[in-house]
Chain A
Amino acid sequence: MHSLPDHYGTLMALWTGVPALILLMSWHLLEGPVINHLLVAQLPAEIQAGDSAQIQLAISKVHNLATGSGLAADASLMPAVSHLAALNERTLLLNSGIALSLCLICFAATYRRIKPELRARTEMENIVNMLLLASSGIAVLTTLGILASVVIEAWMFFQKVSPLEFLFGTTWSPQVALRADQSGSSGSFGAVPLFAGTLLISSIAMIIAVPVGLMAAIYLSEYASENVRKYAKPALEVLAGIPTVVYGFFAALTVAPFIRVLGTDLGLEVSSESALAAGLVMGVMIIPFVSSLSDDVINAVPQSLRDGSYGLGATKNETIRQVVIPAALPGIVGAVMLAVSRAIGETMIVAMAAGLAANLTANPLDSVTTVTVQIVTLLVGDQEFDSPKTLAAFALGLVLFISTLVLNFVALKIVQKYREQYD
């Protein structure tokens, strides 16, 4: 007996539902262009003779009038409007009619095939496989789509600004003249200050997050009693759940002024928006990433290794330093690298606390800006989408994408290698 009654039932359901669903979806995708094409014929002759922008405009007016949201009725468009109403009604009927009949046809066809010798289970499993494949395909295609759009826009940017200037220029001033006679806005797209700022802030963040996170992980996994662990670990993970914008205003309104006052008292010159403030707060934000992942990795070190070390008369301290941490090291490195890619991609804290000034400096008390913040400022507000200024955002995005991709890739490789060692 190769198939159970369930399998026949599921197969029937799949064959009845899925083709009709696919039909409905593709119908909706194609409906718009087809209707618009039909509408063009109904437009007044002088619009039809115009260019495509004019036709587009007229068509959207027709759509607006048909739904009743048009501002003023335009007599010359009325034939098209009534045509659209008729078309809409007809397509709805046609669409439901076809979908329903497809359902019935498929149902009948499958029903006739239901026989003891039909391998319903295999066929059903194949269909389900296809559906699963399609779902994962959506995720992959979306990623590819995003990548393609970033690459294309970045390519357009590099047509206008040379990649060498972008990657090695040291002045970032992404202003583009709107009028030919405008002064002081030649536009300069040297991204080095942004890379340097990103690096500076991420380094400060990692200097905070790695030691604190790692030591917290060691405490949680090796020293904390069951009870402490039960409350401390979720409490630490709450840090990861705080929205970054909250961290941002904490950094901007509490930490940055505090650092400035402290610095001024020590006789240092501190900008009110400093890389240090942003880096510190970002470091705190990243602690749970490091600690939680490292904790998992340290817990995954087999108890037998600890026993082996204790069995030789090693103390807990020696066991942790010389056996547990070395054994967990690849995993810890992986955790740190994931945290770094998180730090590089962080936007809100930096935008609020580190400022927008593209200074090329290694002084953490100065204000700097990062790749992500510049992307935001370049794209916020009304912008032309073909000027180098907005296209620069895509080039920056591409750089960011590639660097975090590389980091993630390396981190995952390391973690994987570690897993193989003990499984």
Chain B
Amino acid sequence: MQLIENHKTTGIPLSPKAKLSARNVDVFYGDKQAIHDVSLDIGENEVIALIGPSGCGKSTFLRTLNRMNDTIDICNIKGEILLDNENIYDPKVDTVPLRARVGMVFQKPNPFPKSIYDNVAYGPRIHGLAQSRVELDETVEKSLQRAGLWNEVKDRLHAPGTGLSGGQQQRLCIARTIAVDPEVILMDEPCSALDPIATAKIEELIDDLREKYTIAIVTHSMQQAARVSQRTAYFHLGQLIEVNPTDQVFTTPQHELTEAYITGRFG
């Protein structure tokens, strides 16, 4: 398969209520270009699903949105990413407050080797968000409640976070992320290591979180994209092929590549 020459993204990549906007983003790993000229808006209080075959650059694109790619030396980024109309790749921008505003949940649950309480309190502590112990307790409780984990762990807040089940660990990681009170949450295949029941719980949670946060989720499961997202973006070989409302993408895709992917001809 080859790149499409002079490609222009099909559908509606832009949004009137943009929270995060990518403009003409290219990403290079050394000499290899992983993302080709992607422009995409992520609107406020919406869930956008990024789908596409393995290696299509959707995770790479997600990681550019809070500069997680900075930790990879050979990674280079061109173009602009605007958070509330400010370019996050401006040399003046500090990644620390940026990542507090744009949180991330990873593919494999990665609780710190600390207690459940300390896992959630980690972010508020490093950012000095709580003035007192009581306030910190409240933040922890609120975050765990919002992540739907409070009832399961309230009696063992000081047990190690690594002792939870996979699904609970992932909800703990989500609680940890929302404890910092971010504006955007990026999720990189958050359910790929979980069983169907745990997956259902996380999907429900994502739906609830939309009221307060802007969410971008990378997923391999088209059913999941259909269940949780309002808009869907289809990536192919580092190009953004099509962006449309989710219903439309899964019923009447505009681009032939999107159609081929969702009907299972490759992927």
Contact = CB atoms under 8 A, between A and B. Distances in A.
Contact of A304 (B95, B98, B106, B162): B106
A323 B112 contact: yes
Contacts of A10: none
B66 A311 contact: yes
Contacts of A315: 96, 126
A302 interface: yes
Given A312-B126, A312-B177, A307 B96 contact: no
Contacts of A308: 106, 110-112, 173, 176
A305 B112 contact: yes
A307 B122 contact: no
Interface of A: 226, 302, 304-315, 318, 322-323, 326-327, 421
A115 B97 CA distance: 77
Contacts of B122: 309, 312, 314, 322-323
B180 interface: yes
Interface of B: 66, 68, 71, 73, 95-100, 103-106, 108, 110-114, 122-123, 126-127, 162, 173, 176-177, 180
A14 to B, nearest CB: 48
14 contacts: A304-B110, A307-B106, A308-B106, A311-B104, A312-B103, A312-B123, A312-B177, A313-B123, A313-B126, A313-B127, A313-B180, A318-B126, A323-B112, A421-B113
A199 B110 CA distance: 41
Given A313-B95, A314-B96, 16 more contacts: A226-B73, A304-B106, A304-B108, A307-B110, A308-B173, A311-B106, A312-B122, A312-B126, A312-B180, A313-B96, A313-B126, A313-B180, A314-B122, A322-B122, A326-B112, A421-B162
Nearest to B104: A311
Contact of A313 (B98, B105, B113, B162): B98
Contact of B100 (A305, A307, A313): A313
**Chain A binding surface SS class:** helix
Contacts of A311: 66, 68, 99, 103-106, 177
B185 to A, nearest CB: 10
Contact of A326 (B66, B68, B113): B113
A313 B71 contact: no
A255 B116 CA distance: 50
Nearest to A225: B73
Given A308-B173, A326-B113, A314 B108 contact: no
A309 B127 CA distance: 12
A322 B127 CA distance: 13
A322 B98 CA distance: 20
**Among the interface residues B66, B110, B123, which one has the most CB atoms of the partner chain A within 10 A?**
B110
Contacts of B180: 312-313
Contacts of B123: 312-314
A310 B99 contact: yes
Contacts of A314: 96, 122-123, 126
Contacts of A306: 71
Nearest to B127: A313
Contacts of A307: 68, 71, 104, 106, 110
A315 B113 CA distance: 18
Closest 10 CB pairs of A and B: A313-B100, A311-B104, A313-B99, A304-B110, A308-B110, A312-B123, A327-B113, A313-B96, A318-B126, A314-B126
A310 B68 contact: yes
Contacts of A226: 73
Nearest to B186: A311
Contacts of B71: 306-307, 310
Contacts of B177: 311-312
Contact of B110 (A302, A326, A421): A302
Nearest to A226: B73
A305 B123 CA distance: 14
B86 to A, nearest CB: 16
A36 B249 CA distance: 97
A65 to B, nearest CB: 74
A306 B111 CA distance: 10
